[in-house]
């Protein structure tokens, strides 16, 4: 699918997944990549297929994790030929400059296949940066459950690869001490603000999901993929579903 934007033909084959940390956005990304017309990040760490567990050296990362590297990329650093660069807040935190034109180049490179981009940024900023794109927005209804999941996943992840000893648990402990409240309260405040942003800027054109596990129901998955213009491969879907069967990540 192509749209005419300011006189230039621009591919609309990027699918962004905006989600709060800890709610299974990478699981959803793998499920979507099971479709026939979605490119998979088949770097050795991610596996040749989305149903192969993550095999990177970061021991605390879940088996659902994946990075945006294709086969041929180095294990570390940005490789312009095989790695889609970080954007928005993640890029800023690493002093990396990525422009919409950089993503547009990847849209053209991967077209007619789609590709997924997972991120935690505000939805309005995401849409301004990626437009045109297709948007999946994960809006959990239960913040207490979200925090429980965060404590079993993101809690153990490092904040910056340059200092892998400083984890998100350390970051949020520091925030709690600075604000004079509990870590749970800091998380609650941030998740509430993030969810409010998602509710404010999501539209009927977007795919809105409240519970990631819903896509383990094939009818729900099929409806989502149809709205995104994806070609469902049920055999691949079942392979991904098997990877997530124990739902230990949630």
What integer pLDDT is reported at residue 10 of this predicted model?
Answer: 63
Extract the tokens encoding 201.
């800027």
β-strands 134-138, 207-209 pairing: parallel
What integer pLDDT is reported at residue 246 of this predicted model?
Answer: 59
β-strands 14-18, 134-138 pairing: parallel
What integer pLDDT is reported at residue 61 of this predicted model?
Answer: 82
Structure confidence at residue 250 as a pLDDT band (50, 70, 90): low
Q: Mean pLDDT throughout 36-40?
A: 98
> Would you say residue 83 has pLDDT above 90?
yes
What integer pLDDT is reported at residue 76 of this predicted model?
Answer: 72
Q: Mean pLDDT throughout 80-108?
A: 93
Q: Mean pLDDT throughout 27-39?
A: 97
**154-196 tens-digit pLDDT:** 999 999 888 989 999 999 999 999 999 999 999 999 999 999 9
Per mean pLDDT, which of 56-60, 76-80, 165-169 is the most reliable?
165-169
Beta bridge partners of 208: 137
Does 93 or 103 have the greater pLDDT score? 103
Q: Mean pLDDT throughout 31-59?
A: 93
> Would you say residue 1 has pLDDT above 50?
no
Pick from 176, 185, 193, 198: nearest CA to 144 = 185
Structure confidence at residue 2 as a pLDDT band (50, 70, 90): very low
**Domain positions in the chain:** 2-141+207-243
> Would you say residue 110 has pLDDT above 90?
yes
What integer pLDDT is reported at residue 63 of this predicted model?
Answer: 86
Structure confidence at residue 247 as a pLDDT band (50, 70, 90): low
Does 111 or 73 have the greater pLDDT score? 111
**213-235 tens-digit pLDDT:** 999 999 999 999 999 999 999 99
* CA pair distance 85, 99, nearest whole angstrom: 10
User: Could you tell me which residues come within 8 angstroms of residue 21 by beta carbon, excluding any fewer than 6 positions away?
Assistant: 120, 150, 153, 154, 168
> Would you say residue 8 has pLDDT above 50?
no
What's the Cα-to-Cα distance from 105 to each of 7, 10, 41, 80, 99, rounded to whole Å? 17, 10, 16, 11, 10
**Is 0.75 surpassed by the pTM of this model?**
yes
Average pLDDT over all residues of the chain: 91
């Amino acid at each position: 699918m192509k749209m005419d934007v300011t006189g230039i033909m621009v591919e609309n084959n990027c699918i962004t997944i905006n989600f709060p940390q800890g709610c299974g956005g990478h699981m959803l990304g793998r499920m979507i990549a099971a479709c026939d017309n979605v490119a998979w990040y088949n770097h050795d760490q991610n596996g040749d297929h989305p149903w192969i567990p993550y095999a990177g050296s970061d021991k605390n990362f879940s088996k659902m994790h994946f990075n945006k590297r294709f086969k041929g990329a180095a294990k570390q650093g940005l490789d312009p030929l095989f790695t889609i660069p970080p954007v928005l807040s993640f890029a800023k935190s690493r002093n990396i400059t990525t422009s919409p034109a950089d993503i547009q180049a990847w849209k053209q490179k991967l077209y007619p296949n789609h590709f997924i981009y997972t991120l935690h940024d505000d939805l309005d900023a995401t849409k301004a940066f990626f437009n045109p794109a297709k948007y999946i927005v994960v809006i959990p209804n239960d913040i207490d459950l979200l925090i429980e999941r965060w404590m079993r996943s993101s809690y153990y992840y490092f904040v910056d690869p340059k200092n892998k000893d400083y984890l998100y648990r350390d970051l949020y402990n520091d925030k709690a001490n600075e604000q004079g409240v509990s870590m749970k309260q800091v998380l609650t405040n941030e998740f509430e603000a993030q969810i409010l942003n998602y509710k404010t800027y999501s539209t009927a054109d977007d795919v809105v999901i409240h519970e990631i596990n819903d896509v383990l129901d094939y009818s729900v998955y099929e409806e989502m993929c149809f709205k995104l213009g994806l070609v469902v491969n049920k055999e691949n879907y079942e392979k991904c579903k098997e990877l997530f069967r124990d739902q230990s990540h949630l």
